[in-house]
Amino acid sequence: MPNHLLGETSPYLLQHVNNPVDWYPWCEEAWEKARQENKLVLVSVGYSACHWCHVMEHESFENAITAQLMNDHFVCIKVDREERPDIDQVYMSAVQLMTGQGGWPLNCFTLPDSRPLYGGTYFPNANWNKVLQQLAAFYRQDPVKAHQYADELTTGMHRSDLVTLHDDQPLSRQPLHETVENWKRQFDHLEGGPNRAPKFPLPNNYEFLLHYQYVTDDPALLQHVELTLDKMAYGGIYDQIGGGFARYSVDSEWKVPHFEKMLYDNAQLISLYAKAYQRTGKVLYREIVTETLSFIERELTAPEGVCYSALDADSEGEEGKFYTWTVEELSNVDFPASETHDIASLIQDYYAVNGKGLWEHGRNILLRTSSDEDFAAKHRLSTADWKSIVVQCKEQLLAVRAQRVRPGLDNKILTSWNALMITAWCDAYDSTGEATYLQRAEQAARWLLDNMLSDDGRLIHAGTVDKQKGPGFLEDYALLAQALLSLYRSTFNESWLEKAKSLVQYTLKHFSDPDTGLCWFTNDLEPQLITRKLEVHDNVIPAANSVLAKVLFQLGHLLGDTELTDRARQSLQIVVRDMPRYGSAYSNWAQLLLWFTYPYHELVVTGDKALDEGLYLRSLYLPHVLLAGSNSASSLPLLTNRYQSGSTLFYVCTNGACQLPVMSAHEAIVLLQRSGKNEK
């Protein structure tokens, strides 16, 4: 019989609907049952693409004996961490305080009043059964001590959420220099990325390093960023056949991925590679952008134009089976014929089959060990001919792979992750000029604004294309505002700017913490959990507060509103002292500090050809320039009284004060470069 998860929309919750465990979704009914029966509560958190979540479900939650233990002694609540990141944050912090580590599945036992008592991540079945029996006995025999433990743990959680305020001091470049020098000690100079395993892509880290290198002219830093991006593009973490990245590599060589594919990773990596292409002109980076966007279009995009959340790591009960190949499988592929070369052998060599790519059970992870240029030269082919062969072979391999049992699809629509994707489409459009990408961005933005935004300004966080539910979190407001600013940059359409402004106004009204100037992760209109979190540390997705601070900075410059830029400065001052110790956790904040401490300019384009000229300017890597423009008269402060019919003018401005206009984009770039050098 189905449990209480029947009727939920989350694919992760529905995966557990027929478990013998009497799962509840997070709801008042479950907590009321726990209070009435005086039972401990198990809050079990995971997500649909999580491999170890599947393992624990199979070992324990589908086990009738284990399920009986759980049902007899606990009220059991299942939570999709992507649907309710607020719950995940609270109980993850509890488990990290208890064990020093975290991960998923996350299993936290609480008192009937929701205060945590004990927890961990994955438990083998035998250990899990012991934990269930021992905790039930402990709570039954010594409830006073159980409450004491919960009191101490909850107090520790509140303390860990405290933010230290510092006296206002002028922002300086010194923390940036210290951060990068400390960070360099952790570089892997052979394989790129950090000198440890596992390796997560963490795109925002490399966006910051690329940005810092641009303003400081540090050649070693650019070399490291390029090494990292090259190695990721060549590695098993990248799907060499279908495009797109897995969540992380379990080893130090980017070889063996944790095969799940997440929308948020791929969106941010598209943005990173697009900017790296602008910076370096490297064709490989453009190819990664286009191939990853093809993957998104093919496998994660709904007919409505918004994107689903993830693809599972497993298929047919086996991790990575969909993506890996035996020699026999490759030998049976109908590759294009050649009079001079054995194409099948070339492809196996190209993808390191039975070499570096060999994984387990005779299966190979397709990866590369050299550039197209070097490989073509090795086999006495022109680069152009070899690239043409690779394109044809990829099509054949993709067609063969499409016949396999596919990994599960998580069809949730998340506002925050789709906002990242809108930004990615805009970055791809800016760097390549491919108009289809801009069309995708605008279509997705319109769907979100029509379906996930209410008339009173509230965002919805999650749902499906047919049913949306759940209040928006700070990440939804901040990332969507950021996406709308990206759309303004890519189109000069001021309606996107107005919508971003409205989102920010709502956010500051309903999320602000008056004591710190930061914003809570949850708003003030919804029932509160046992603690309210301030998300400060950048992670696989930058902290919502760092995203919001950058939005405030840019919006303040566009609107001439110093209160917004002052608010961004206030937020930054809270974290700047901690930045040098752990740069990876403050990389988005560090980009904001770059804006505050190095020459930052507005570049205004007005006139009949403003949109065309804007397309050229956006193709350049200009991380310290805020672009604004219009092909008609505008009331935007930066554009007021600057439009002249029949001519196109370029204004280089600082804090709204503009130099005399010039007549070409080239002259404007020269002015920017000259101004930047003079002010460094």
Instruction: Give the three-state DSSP class for 541.
Output: coil
| Whether residue 330 sits in one domain with residue 248 | no
| Whether residue 613 sits in one domain with residue 551 | no
- Residue 167 resides in a domain: no
The reply to whether omega before 219 is within 30° of 0 (cis) is no
Mean pLDDT, residues 646-670 taken together: 91
| Whether residue 85 sits in one domain with residue 21 | yes
Distance CA 42, CA 40 (A): 7
What is the chain's length?
Answer: 680
680 has a pLDDT exceeding 90: no
- Residue 4 resides in a domain: no
- Residue 166 resides in a domain: no
Instruction: Give the three-state DSSP class for 16.
Output: coil
| Whether residue 92 sits in one domain with residue 56 | yes
Strand 318-319 versus strand 314-315 pairing type: antiparallel
Distance CA 353, CA 345 (A): 9
Using only C-alpha atoms, what is the Rg of the chain?
26
Mean pLDDT, residues 304-308 taken together: 97
Count helices and strands in the chain by DSSP H and E runs = 25, 17
| Whether residue 416 sits in one domain with residue 383 | no
Q: What is the dihedral of CA 262, 265, 271, 277, to 10 degrees?
A: -100
Distance CA 555, CA 568 (A): 10
Strand 409-410 versus strand 318-319 pairing type: unpaired
Maximum distance among all Cα pairs of the chain, rounded to whole angstroms = 86
Mean pLDDT, residues 429-447 taken together: 98
215 has a pLDDT exceeding 90: yes
Task: Using alpha carbons, select from 237, 227, 243 the residue that is nearest to residue 286.
Answer: 243
Mean pLDDT of the chain: 94
| Whether residue 447 sits in one domain with residue 507 | yes
467 has a pLDDT exceeding 90: no
Give how far Cα 406 sits from Cα of 57, 311, 409, Å. 20, 9, 9
Residue type, 118: Y
Using a pLDDT cut of 70, give the percent of the chain over it: 99
CA angle 388, 391, 396 (to 5 degrees): 130
CA angle 583, 120, 112 (to 5 degrees): 115
| Whether residue 329 sits in one domain with residue 457 | no
587 in Cβ contact with 207 (< 8 Å): yes
Q: What is the dihedral of CA 588, 594, 599, 604, to 10 degrees?
A: 0
Q: How many domains does the chain have?
A: 4
pLDDT attached to residue 658 = 87
Task: Using alpha carbons, select from 578, 581, 570 the residue that is nearest to residue 519.
Answer: 570
| Whether residue 441 sits in one domain with residue 397 | no
Structure tokens at 422: 């809108």
Structure tokens at 271: 């943005």
677 has a pLDDT exceeding 70: no
Mean pLDDT, residues 193-215 taken together: 96
Instruction: Give the three-state DSSP class for 662.
Output: strand
Structure tokens at 69: 């233990």
165 has a pLDDT exceeding 80: no
What CATH number has the domain bearing residue 55? 3.40.30.10
Residue type, 530: I
Beta bridge partners of 41: 75, 110
487 has a pLDDT exceeding 90: yes
The reply to whether omega before 2 is within 30° of 0 (cis) is no
Q: Residue 415, Cβ neighbours under 10 Å: how many?
A: 26
Domain termination residue (choose one: 577, 597, 617) = 597
| Whether residue 577 sits in one domain with residue 429 | yes
Structure tokens at 185: 């000690």
pLDDT attached to residue 148 = 95
- Residue 209 resides in a domain: yes
pLDDT attached to residue 676 = 66
pLDDT attached to residue 678 = 53
46 has a pLDDT exceeding 60: yes
Domain termination residue (choose one: 403, 431, 456) = 403
pLDDT in tens, 494-527: 999 999 999 999 999 999 999 899 999 999 998 8
What CATH number has the domain bearing residue 184? 1.50.10.10
Give the dihedral sign, CA 336/339/343/346. negative
Beta bridge partners of 416: none
| Whether residue 230 sits in one domain with residue 374 | no
Structure tokens at 286: 């453009």
- Residue 304 resides in a domain: yes
| Whether residue 154 sits in one domain with residue 228 | no
Domain termination residue (choose one: 403, 427, 447) = 403
Q: Residue 151, Cβ neighbours under 10 Å: how many?
A: 12
Instruction: Give the three-state DSSP class for 90.
Output: helix
Instruction: Give the three-state DSSP class for 628.
Output: strand
Q: What is the dihedral of CA 372, 377, 380, 385, to 10 degrees?
A: 30
Beta bridge partners of 642: none
pLDDT attached to residue 1 = 81
Residues with Cβ within 8 Å of residue 123, at least 6 apart in sequence:
56, 60, 107, 131
Residue 177, phi then psi, degrees to nearest 5:
-65, -45
Mean pLDDT, residues 31-51 taken together: 96
Task: Using alpha carbons, select from 619, 617, 603 the residue that is nearest to residue 662.
Answer: 603
Beta bridge partners of 463: 468
Instruction: Determine which helix (DSSP H) or strand (DSSP E) holds 658, and give its type and residue range.
Output: strand 657-658
48 in Cβ contact with 11 (< 8 Å): yes
DSSP one-letter string for 468-486: EEEE--HHHHHHHHHHHHH
Residue 337, exposed/middle/buried by CB under 10 A (0-12, 13-18, 19+)?
Answer: exposed
Task: Using alpha carbons, select from 447, 473, 451 the residue that is nearest to residue 83.
Answer: 473
pLDDT attached to residue 636 = 92
| Whether residue 298 sits in one domain with residue 199 | yes
> Strand locations in 517-613, DSSP E?
601-607
Instruction: Determine which helix (DSSP H) or strand (DSSP E) holds 319, and give its type and residue range.
Output: strand 318-319
- Residue 168 resides in a domain: no
501 in Cβ contact with 554 (< 8 Å): no
pLDDT attached to residue 466 = 82
Strand 106-110 versus strand 314-315 pairing type: unpaired
Instruction: Give the three-state DSSP class for 452.
Output: coil
- Residue 433 resides in a domain: yes
pLDDT in tens, 600-644: 999 999 998 998 899 999 999 999 999 999 999 898 998 988 888
Domain carrying residue 436: 178-315+410-597
Rounded to 10 deg, the angle between the 474-491 and 494-510 helix axes is 160
CA angle 580, 582, 585 (to 5 degrees): 120
Instruction: Determine which helix (DSSP H) or strand (DSSP E) holds 249, and give its type and residue range.
Output: strand 248-249
DSSP one-letter string for 351-413: TTTTTTTB-STT-B----SS-HHHHHHHTT--HHHHHHHHHHHHHHHHHHHTTSPPPPEE---
Residue 137 pLDDT level (bands cut at 50, 70, 90):
very high
Mean pLDDT, residues 404-429 taken together: 97
> Strand locations in 4-133, DSSP E?
40-46, 74-80, 106-110, 116-120
- Residue 132 resides in a domain: yes
